Copies of this chain bind each other. A is one copy, B any other.
Amino acid sequence: MEYSEIIDIFEKHDKFLILTHKSPDGDTLGSGFGLCYFLRDMGKLANVVNSDGFPDRYDFMYVDYAPQDFEPEYVIAVDIADPSLIGSGLAKYQEAGTVDLCIDHHFSNKNFAVLSHVEGDTAAAAQILYAIFKQSGRKISDIIAKCLYTGIATDTGCFKYENTTPETHLAAAELMAYDIDFANVNRKMFDVKSKGRIKIEQIVTGRMEYHIQDKCAMITITTELMESCGVDQAEFEGLASIPLSAEGVVLGITVKQRHENVFKISVRTTDEMDASAFCNYFGGGGHIRAAGCELKGTLEEVRAKLLERAEKVLLA
């Protein structure tokens, strides 16, 4: 779609509901609230919803937000590639025809909405929204700029990852002209961890094993460990990048117990190895640098299977 068509939609309708994806991150929330405030500044009614609620971690984007009371007339999904990501708390919007417009940056977008605007090469949904807002010629407020910056920064690891483009930096340069206190946003997003998370990372890192001439690092997280350390289960998400942080490691494997004799395997690789091919071998899949699979057996059996295959691949 042309940006002008999207702006026409904003102008033509009056009562918007904005859907963000479940397990919300900085980009879906930054895009959702950025769009909500933009529409409200246009004189429209607009609300943001999330199946899982809004986490405290991102509250600087919605500390002054209050939902408005109205019956939605137009539904926009932001940063949502697949209706299943809308979440069970908003299940009615998983049905065909219920979402009017989806604005997203995932190549894998399922085109589930009536209208879809997908830019797979753009680093963040918030970066697309910024381009749309610019094209509208309307001024944006500081809080809109802060939401969009947060979306862009979080989805690029603060401009660190491969998805960052010159346009990403240009958007950041322009958004910094607003009063957004970006250094504090970045501190919250990238430097601060909960005490529980610090404890878990400390325990898990202490259990890291190096194998195959130290080219492979592995961490194992058993249900026993998760239960014993007295930290919320949600804090055990996203640990898979830890093994690959060790110098010289090209294959990082995280083994996480799901049930008795069932383990979820997360694989991360440097550009010297194909994570997807490694996981395909075990019936899993994913991307070239990040993939996963499921393995059955005792922890010892699962470890042995993984290391046997790793040795074949790494010493080939």
A interface with B by C-beta (< 8 Å): 157-162, 164-170, 172-174, 176-177, 182-184, 186-187, 190-195, 198, 201-202, 205-206, 208, 210, 214, 241, 244-248, 270-271
Q: Using known A-B contacts A193-B246, A247-B192, A247-B193, determine if residue A183 contacts B198 with beta carbons closer than 8 Å.
A: no
- Whether B241 contacts A191 by the Cβ 8 Å rule is yes
Min CB distance A254 to B, Å, is 15
Taking CB as reference atom, which chain B residue is nearest A210?
B195
Contacts of A176 in B (CB 8 A): 164-166, 169
- Whether A160 contacts B190 by the Cβ 8 Å rule is yes
| Interchain CB contact (< 8 A) of A177 among B159, B166, B190, B201 | B166
Contacts of A214 in B (CB 8 A): 195
- Whether B198 contacts A245 by the Cβ 8 Å rule is yes
Q: Roughly how many angstroms separate A241 CA and B184 CA in the complex, as a whole number?
A: 15
Q: Using known A-B contacts A169-B173, A245-B193, A247-B194, determine if residue A183 contacts B205 with beta carbons closer than 8 Å.
A: no
Q: Roughly how many angstroms separate A168 CA and B241 CA in the complex, as a whole number?
A: 28
- Whether A191 contacts B245 by the Cβ 8 Å rule is yes
| Interchain CB contact (< 8 A) of A184 among B244, B248, B271 | B271
Oligomer copy total: 2
Q: Roughly how many angstroms separate A241 CA and B187 CA in the complex, as a whole number?
A: 11
- Whether B158 contacts A166 by the Cβ 8 Å rule is no
- Whether B161 contacts A183 by the Cβ 8 Å rule is yes
16 further interface pairs, Cβ-Cβ under 8 Å (given A160-B183, A164-B182, A184-B271): A157-B158, A160-B191, A161-B186, A169-B172, A169-B173, A192-B245, A192-B246, A193-B245, A193-B247, A194-B246, A194-B247, A195-B246, A198-B245, A201-B205, A202-B202, A202-B206
Min CB distance A225 to B, Å, is 15
Contacts of A245 in B (CB 8 A): 191-193, 198
Q: Roughly how many angstroms separate A159 CA and B241 CA in the complex, as a whole number?
A: 21
Min CB distance A181 to B, Å, is 9
- Whether A246 contacts B164 by the Cβ 8 Å rule is no
Cβ contacts A to B, 5 pairs, < 8 Å: A160-B191, A165-B176, A166-B173, A169-B173, A194-B247
Contacts of A246 in B (CB 8 A): 192-195, 198
What 4 pairs between A and B have smallest CB-CB spacing? A169-B173, A162-B183, A166-B173, A160-B186
- Whether A195 contacts B161 by the Cβ 8 Å rule is no
Q: Roughly how many angstroms separate A120 CA and B307 CA in the complex, as a whole number?
A: 52
Min CB distance A290 to B, Å, is 13
Contacts of A210 in B (CB 8 A): 195
- Whether A159 contacts B158 by the Cβ 8 Å rule is yes
Min CB distance A295 to B, Å, is 26
Contacts of A247 in B (CB 8 A): 192-195
Q: Roughly how many angstroms separate A274 CA and B184 CA in the complex, as a whole number?
A: 16
- Whether B208 contacts A198 by the Cβ 8 Å rule is yes
